[in-house]
Amino acid sequence: MASYRSYSCEAMATIFSFHLSTESSDLLDSAVMEAEELLANLESQLSLYIESSDTTRINRAHQGEEITVSQTMVDCLLAAFDASQRLGGAFDPFLGQLAIDAKRQRPILPHLKDIEFVDCGSSDPVISLDPDSSRVKKLRMGPLLDLGGIGKGFALDCLKTLFQNWDIESGLLDSGGSTLLALERNEDIAEWALNIGYNSCVKSIVLVPGSAIASSGELFQGSHIIEPAEGGQSAWKRSYAMAGTGSLADAASTAGLVLGDREIESICEQEDDLSFAVFSEETGHGYGSFFNTEICGT
């Protein structure tokens, strides 16, 4: 690790860390300054908690109203829709109302207080998106857009592109320890060693360059993960997902908490680049090409 330098900054209600390697320390410093600006912009556009964000503007739009959003929002929505489709609907970016209520946060979101929360159980689309014109049309009222389940992974994907544009292709990007993305292979480090698990059920793994891993659970905010179809609570205590992008890994780890064994197996059979590890109080199970084993317990 002698050739690596570490940086950290606060954004999106967590601490982002960058462990990067390059021959020029001045180049690293400049790239990290730009990365901090990028994170601030992402938060300003995507956060449910910021009154002027694109997320709030979409949530406050009336039925039939069209608004123009940033390219950041367009890209994140496309990533969220793709993840939802690949995960069989187990990830839904329009569960903001249920998540807010589960975390008892409605009193701290006055900019949403006058929105009538209705018909969250319908599977009808909430918005339509025209990526070419960056236009969003509100199709029905009720469900609130909340990109918290994919936002940090999406941010890591954006950071990866930024650092590659600076010719920095070796390192590890970390959003609060919950989502990590490894940059390309370097002669000093071929892979990153990590421990995953829940309670005493722990497994050592490696994160290979070009891949991402994300975790979700109840450690920080209680039982706030909502099952899209029925509004039920988590089936597992902690889930991990490994994928080729931070966005997909982040969304998949969120979905993993509410998926059953057969559902996870079915997703992994259809999606070669997705793997899951899920943990209950006593056991851990792996699915997919990477986690294809019983981790511990019976």
Retrieve residue 175's tokens.
Answer: 């959003």
- Residue 188: predicted pLDDT: 59
Q: What is the pLDDT of residues 192-202, one digit of tens each?
A: 889 999 988 88
Q: How far is CA 211 from CA 6, 94, 190, in A?
A: 19, 27, 12
Q: What is the pLDDT of residues 69-105, one digit of tens each?
A: 999 999 999 999 999 999 999 999 998 776 666 666 5
Residue 82 phi/psi, 5° resolution? -65, -45
- Residue 191: predicted pLDDT: 78
- Residue 294: predicted pLDDT: 62
Judged by phi (left if over 0) then psi (alpha if -120 to 50, else beta), residue 181 lies in beta
- Residue 22: predicted pLDDT: 76
Contacts of 33 (CB under 8 A, 6+ apart): none
- Residue 118: predicted pLDDT: 58
Residue ranges of the chain whose pLDDT lies below 70: 1-2, 98-108, 114-122, 185-190, 218-235, 292-294, 296-298
CATH T-level topology, domain 54-146: T-fold (1.10.3980)
